[in-house]
Homo-oligomer: A and B are copies of this chain.
Amino acid sequence: MAGNPLNAKVVGRLSLYRRLVSGLIRRGTMAVYSHELASHAGVTAAQVRRDLMSIGFTATPSRGYDLTELARTLDRFLDSAAAEATVLIGVGNLGRAILAYFQGQGKLPIIAAFDTDPSKVGRMVHGCPCRPLAELSSVLAERRPRVAILTLPASEAQAIADQLIAGGVRGLVNFAPIPLRVPPGVHLESLDITMFLEKTAYFARLAVAREESHEHEGSR
């Protein structure tokens, strides 16, 4: 059932393929060749073939990959049998946006959100109950969530992460702009939005500079 442990980049692309495949199915497509799926995903055909090879999914040279079968296989790899309980810590603007985005998504239900702010606690936020942070450990003990989303201030992120991991959480998606330290066996995905923006600004500036120097040609 587990198969051989897949590499993180492959899993990311599988998640993307799944979404593309379900879109194609909805449009009535029955099968695709690697280069077709590749062009939708923005990767090479060889990459698609390798990725699908790594989960043991095969095509026929004549028809390509059967989409119904592929969708089922991807579901089996990416989803648990039961839905994976998830918690979210930090009901600020970003936390609320993510709650709104994932409410009613089926798999990965966010079972509770936590915050220290008394004005938020007790309410429903986009369909999710907001509870005081003090109740975190009892929720961890009772509901055994395995995934947590951190949308809280950087100053509190490490302490909360430690508490979550101690309580059994094994996957963290961190939006706080600080590098977290997690023990081996715990998966951490860090999404530092400021960093992505600064990176983008750097390359945008470079591109503009390059274009401008090409315009009046004379340099170099």
Contact = CB atoms under 8 A, between A and B. Distances in A.
A174 to B, nearest CB: 10
A147 B201 contact: yes
A191 interface: yes
A61 to B, nearest CB: 26
Interface stretch (A27-35, A62-70, A135-143, A181-189): A181-189
A197 B41 contact: no
Interface of A: 2, 5-6, 8, 11-12, 15-16, 19, 40-42, 77-80, 84, 86, 92-94, 96-98, 100-102, 107-108, 146-147, 149, 169-173, 177, 179-181, 185-187, 189, 191-211
A124 to B, nearest CB: 15
B84 A93 contact: no
A29 to B, nearest CB: 17
The main secondary structure of chain A at its interface with chain B is helix
Contacts of A195: 12, 15-16
B5 A206 contact: yes
B179 A42 contact: yes
Contacts of A191: 191, 193, 196
Contact of A171 (B11, B40, B108, B203): B203
A214 B181 CA distance: 24
Contacts of A201: 78-80, 84, 86, 107-108, 146-147, 171
A144 to B, nearest CB: 9
B93 A198 contact: no
A172 B196 CA distance: 10
A192 B16 contact: yes
